[in-house]
Structure 1
Amino acid sequence: MSPKRAAAQLRLALQPEADALLSKDPLALLIGMLLDQQVPMEKAFVGPYVLTQRMGKVTARGIVEAGEDRLVELFVEKPAIHRFPAAMARRVVALAEQLVADYDGEAANVWKGVDTGAELLARVRKLPGFGDAKARIFVALLGKQLGVQPKGWREAAGDYGVEGAMKSVADIVDDDSLAEVRSYKKEMKAAAKASK
């Protein structure tokens, strides 16, 4: 497995403080990826920062100890962290519970020590709220931007792992790549709508 690149600076929330958190905190990155559905990407990835502002230091164990009711309160507080704050708060609790049960409460342990991309994909796929596409995108994000590159990671990431692809958050590193990814997603939505 390739060593992790030092000091990767993610640009997913498009807010310096939120992006700094995503770049240094694996749990924040996992939560942001979990929230990345049915809201603009920036809203999803700023969510962990907002949660940190409301909760203080955010850890998987801290989320589990706070419990579902408290997390729902924090997500629902105005402005809400997500379009569906209660449902997503429950998913974040489920994610934290699994991290505590299977990974000693450490999000980075999901990808530490994996030997193959298939193993990494299988681990991510088992996380609550990570369907096949989201798991593949997260594998691509880890590989392309954080240097987590076990053997076969590009194949495990599927189309999202292709070098030079501009299909997902895994490919966003600046304003130009953001525009390209948005253009691709718009084309996919139009094609899906036309095929109905």
Structure 2
Amino acid sequence: MAVSLHLAQQPDADALLSRSPLAALVGMLLDQQVPMEWAFTGPLTIVQRLGGSDLDAREIAGYDPEAFAALLAAKPAVHRYPGSMAKRVQQLCQYLVEHYDGDAAAVWRDAADGKELLARLTALPGFGAQKSQIFLALLGKQFGVRPAGWRAAAGPYGEEGCHRSVADITGPESLSQVRAYKQQAKAAAKAAKAAKKA
């Protein structure tokens, strides 16, 4: 299945995410405490600074940690917290080398069902329950990775026709809808907190 992601909202970065399973995983890992486009442009920035054409889990796993942190911290930084994120990206790649021979797509290629796929994603360094469900929804909705029960395993993010997360972004319009949903959710959480205090 040809994949065409629009998460970085930048053609070269989106092309890398679409063709490289590792880039998609790294982008998802970086997607916290920074705007989504910044996070998903990160894999392309890393590739360019490493001087290659694609991300290589073995290369990143074996890279000198201080040098890799400096690579992510160079301006413009890959993330607001380049040091801690460099460490997480390396941990992710080391895990992939150890458990999947460096092949990121192997994480989902032969998962028996949605439950197993979710367990595999949750086991990845830096992937908590919510991040794993969102990535599982992204795999199902945009990569065509749909083992039995994938929607249920992805929880609310797997629902058809919703605009909750990066899994639902296919262009500028859906990006606006996801942003609006997140703002509403934030406002609702704030209101609930204020009501508790009252």
Answer yes or no: same fold by TM over 0.5. yes
Aligned residue number for residue 142 of structure 2: 145
Give the corresponding residue for 2:187. 190
| Deviations 1:56-114, CA, capped at 9 Å, x for gaps | 23211000121321210111001110011101010000000100000000100100111
TM-score (norm: length of structure 1)? 0.96
Gaps of 5+ in 2: 194-198
Unaligned runs of 5+ in 1: none
Match of 1:30 in 2: 25
- Amino acid in the other structure paired with 1:36: D
Q: Distance in 1 between matches of 2:15 and 2:96?
A: 22
- d(CA) in 2 for partners of 1:71 and 1:185? 33
Tell me the equivalent position of 1:51.
Answer: 46
Instruction: Write the distance in 2 (CA, Å) between the matches of 1:74 and 1:194.
Output: 41
RMSD: 0.7
Q: Distance in 2 between matches of 1:99 and 1:70?
A: 20
Aligned equivalents of 1:167, 1:67: Cα separation in 2: 37
Q: Which has the higher contact order (CA 8 A, sep 6+)?
A: 1
The TM-score with structure 2 as length reference comes to 0.95
The aligned counterpart of 1:116 is 113
Deviations 1:125-177 (A, max 9, x none): 00111110000000000000000000000000000000001000000001111
Q: How many Å separate the matches in 2 of 1:94 and 1:39?
A: 20
- Establish whether residue 170 from structure 1 lines up as the match of residue 167 from structure 2: yes
Runs in 1 of length 4+ with deviation above 4 angstroms? none
Confirm whether residue 133 of structure 1 aligns to residue 160 of structure 2.
no
Matched, 1:16 2:11: yes
Structure 2 residue aligned with 1:42: 37
